[in-house]
Amino acid sequence: MQTVQPTSPLKVYQEDPLNAGTPLEYVPEAFLTPSDLFFIRGHGPIPQVEPATYRLVVKGMVQHPLELSMADLLTRFPQHTLTATLVCAGNRRDELAAIHPLPGEILWDADPISTARWRGVRLGDVLQAAGIEKEARYVAFRGLDQARIAGELVHFGSSIRLEKALAPEVLLVYEMNDAPLPREHGFPLRVLVPGYVGVRSVKWLQDITLQSQPSTNYFQARDYKTFPPTVTAETADWERGKTLEEIALNAVICTPKSGETRHAGPVLVQGYALTGEEAPVERVELSTDQGVTWRPATIREKTDRWAWCFWEAILDLPAGECQIIVRAWDTTGKTQPKDMRPLWNFKGYANNAWHQVQVSLV
């Protein structure tokens, strides 16, 4: 069994496998999440990998299959550093579960999200070195960890389209916040797919396979897809589910938290906003009248293309109960949906409806 340190400030949802969120009150404190506060999402026990004997295998539709040691990776390919946010597709699942139960799922608050500075080599450079055959369309990843699915052990795996795999932001990373990747985050090597939901950033990377079809791995083919609200676990045709890729435009209030009591008068409201690869966040707005009128928040930190941005506002709130709502807009004029009901799906993914907190002012 894997456990976090008893002193860890992470919010543990599950001990085995270990699943823990970054407490929201810490988020506005640090644009780069300290590694011991970085959320952890795992589907099986955390593997122990010996870096000296570790080999990354590149196979499938390639001209020269590769077997690379960590030293090969570090010496044969240029190294790159990039700041990126990882967010789980199950972010804000607890709100969806309040509409209709989501049995068997981890009911994350808005906390499976963190940002780090990563260092690694471009996946595209490694694939070019292997020689991409022209029939290849997808890049499949397999992790060294195994999850128990219906009584059987299954390696964690996932795939992305070749086009995204060749994008300069997609890295094979071995450092997080200027230190070796911590064990729980994929030591010695993981994939980092900025702009996509976290599940595609496979940890403890064992092999990469170029192929003509998406991965048939359980976690790609039978999980991490969305369906209309009418579809249930019993009626789902997984072939027809929508594969989760790009992060949806989202904004969250980190402080105050729902249920908090504050003094009436000026109240500092802080949070994060983020988007995928399409267009950056441009504006964040707050409403205290159910979305009739909105006032802009100040974006106080927005420095990296692939990272969240931080925003804040001081609201002058009278005594009584108050609901504060947030929404973001991107540079193409797109905003978030108001209503959560049309977004409900039986796995509880991709909730990006307006986020709100209830506060008492005295």
Ligand X SMILES: Nc1nc2c(c(=O)[nH]1)N[C@H]1C(S)=C(S)[C@@H](COP(=O)(O)O)O[C@H]1N2
Check: CB of residue 110 under 8 Å from CB of residue 87.
no
Edge-to-edge strand ranges of the sheet holding 298-301: 250-255, 265-274, 309-317, 298-301
The piece of 38-46, 230-238, 245-253, 317-325 that touches ligand X (CB under 6 A) is: 38-46
Give how far the C-alpha of residue 135 lies from the chain's centroid of Cα atoms, to the nearest Å.
30
93 binds ligand X (CB under 6 A): no
- Among Mo ion, ligand X, none, residue 349 binds (CB under 5-8 Å by kind): none
199 binds Mo ion (CB under 5 A): yes
Q: Which of 21, 22, 27, 41 binds Mo ion (CB under 5 A)?
A: 41
164 binds ligand X (CB under 6 A): no
Q: Which of 22, 27, 43, 225 binds ligand X (CB under 6 A)?
A: 43
- Give min distance, CB of 36 to ligand X, in A: 12
185 binds ligand X (CB under 6 A): yes
The span from the CA of 49 to the CA of 215, in Å, is 24
- What are the backbone dihedrals phi and psi of residue 247, each rounded to the nearest 5 degrees, phi first? -65, 135
Token pair belonging to 339: 């209503």
198 binds Mo ion (CB under 5 A): yes
Q: Which residues pair with 318 in a beta bridge?
A: none
List helix spans (H) across the chain.
70-76, 93-99, 123-130, 162-165, 218-221
Going by the DSSP 8-state scheme, the letter that residue 288 receives in this structure is: S
Going by the DSSP 8-state scheme, the letter that residue 335 receives in this structure is: B
Distances (CA, A) of 248 to 10, 61, 146, 329: 25, 32, 28, 11
Check: CB of residue 361 under 8 Å from CB of residue 320.
yes
Token pair belonging to 203: 């940890």
21 binds Mo ion (CB under 5 A): no
310 binds ligand X (CB under 6 A): no
200 binds Mo ion (CB under 5 A): no
- Give min distance, CB of 136 to ligand X, in A: 22
Q: Which of 85, 201, 215, 217 binds ligand X (CB under 6 A)?
A: 201
Closer by beta carbon to ligand X, 193 or else 322: 193
199 binds ligand X (CB under 6 A): yes
Interface positions with ligand X (CB under 6 A): 38-43, 86, 88, 143, 145, 156, 185, 198-199, 201-204
Interface positions with Mo ion (CB under 5 A): 41, 88, 198-199
